[in-house]
Amino acid sequence: MDQLTQLRSQFNAELLEIKSPSEIQLLDTKYLGRNGLINTVLQHIKEVPADQKKEYGTNLNELKQEIIRSISEKKTFLLQSAETKQQIDVTLPGTSYPKGSLHLITIAIDEITSIFEKIGFIRVSYPEVEYEFFSFESLNMPKTHAARDDFETSFIEAPVHPKWGKMLLTPHTSSGQVREMWRVKTPPVRMINISKTYRPNWDATHTPMFFQFEGLCLDNGINITHLKGTLDYFVKSYFGEDIRARLRPHHFQFTEPSFEVDVTCTVCKGTSINNGQKCKICKSGWLELGGTGMVHPNVLKSGNIDPKIYTGWAFGFGIERVIMMKFGIDDIRNYYSGDIRFLEQF
């Protein structure tokens, strides 16, 4: 009997110290579990004298029921107390949980699309897996052109088409120009083509896969003033009213004349001075945006458009690049790192 009395006293003392539902659960396991104290005492009943076993067993069972009842009452008390403390105030704002958002490239694509839609440009989409003809021949790039070797273009191991040539991952959105001319058949054409493009490069300013957006405008009497006006409109709409664009003579196979497009440095605002020192971003007050020019007559012919009747211009800009210029990002690989800390800034 002394052993049971001691066990009851021990239990009651420990029960008084219990302050939480988790603690009462531990106490339950300690006394009533498979290897708990009650079962341990029960295993030693064979050591009790035969004439005392019945009374001992009765008292042990009463103690067990007492412990079960006490633990149950304590559990109920603790749970009711917790609920009282955690009464819900429906007037309080809900708990804020993390939520996803659009990737900054997707945001830029939507913004660029919206800018050009306002001046009548239609968003189109053409194949990323393309043939040589549409990426090169139709764009006035002969078979000997340097851009067509394996160091500049990602060719695909596939049967060569008898008319269109090898298959490849398109290196530029310009491959959609002739396809759009074929689709429309007769100008006017106002196309904006946004797509993934592929070139085997990987460094701070290049990735093997990147996004480009291509503009194409064809009609009667289209000239460079229309091109410059459109570029000015885009630059001010996307970068800000204080940013200007300029055309710098260059050479591209598919345009004649051809230009590089520069815009006012978004860091130093064209002054070439930042914080009293020469701007490290531009060094001259200008940043290179991309290439443009008047569509070459040979490209118009490939698209079944008469160059004696119609003229037009085209441009191709990298979306990652325009984002870099807008926000001052210095490594293009950050876009694809998957680092949420980088993406949450936009």
Interval 158-181 mean pLDDT: 92
Cβ atoms within 10 Å of 281's Cβ, excluding its own: 16
pLDDT digits (tens, 9 = 90+) for 198-237: 987 776 667 888 899 999 999 999 999 999 999 999 999 9
pLDDT on residue 86? 54
Measured between its terminal Cα atoms, the distance across the chain in Å is: 74
Indicate if the pLDDT at residue 305 is higher than 80.
yes
CA–CA dist 232, 19 (Å, integer)? 71
Determine what percent of the chain is predicted with pLDDT higher than 70.
93
* Higher per-residue confidence, 209 vs 147: 209
Task: Give the pTM.
Answer: 0.68
pLDDT on residue 13? 87
Interval 74-100 mean pLDDT: 72
Mean pLDDT of the chain: 86
Pairing label, strands 245-252, 255-264: antiparallel
- The values of phi and psi at residue 321, to 5°, are -70, -45
CA–CA dist 240, 34 (Å, integer)? 74
pLDDT digits (tens, 9 = 90+) for 14-67: 888 888 888 888 888 888 888 888 888 888 777 778 777 788 788 888 888 888
Decide: 166 and 175 in contact? Cβ < 8 Å.
no
CA–CA dist 116, 235 (Å, integer)? 11
Torsion of CA 226, 298, 212, 252, to 10 degrees: -80
pLDDT on residue 246? 92
Interval 334-339 mean pLDDT: 83
pLDDT on residue 149? 65
pLDDT on residue 148? 63
Indicate if the pLDDT at residue 83 is higher than 60.
no
pLDDT on residue 201? 72
pLDDT on residue 36? 84
Least confident of 70-79, 116-125, 132-141, 268-277: 268-277
Decide: 125 and 193 in contact? Cβ < 8 Å.
yes
pLDDT on residue 248? 92
CATH class of 104-343: alpha beta
Interval 285-302 mean pLDDT: 92
CA–CA dist 31, 66 (Å, integer)? 11
pLDDT digits (tens, 9 = 90+) for 172-204: 999 999 999 999 999 999 999 999 999 877 766
Contacts of 242 (CB under 8 A, 6+ apart): 264, 269
CA–CA dist 46, 270 (Å, integer)? 97
Contacts of 340 (CB under 8 A, 6+ apart): none
Domain boundaries, the chain: 2-85, 104-343
Cβ atoms within 10 Å of 217's Cβ, excluding its own: 23
Interval 299-304 mean pLDDT: 95
111 is in an annotated binding site: no
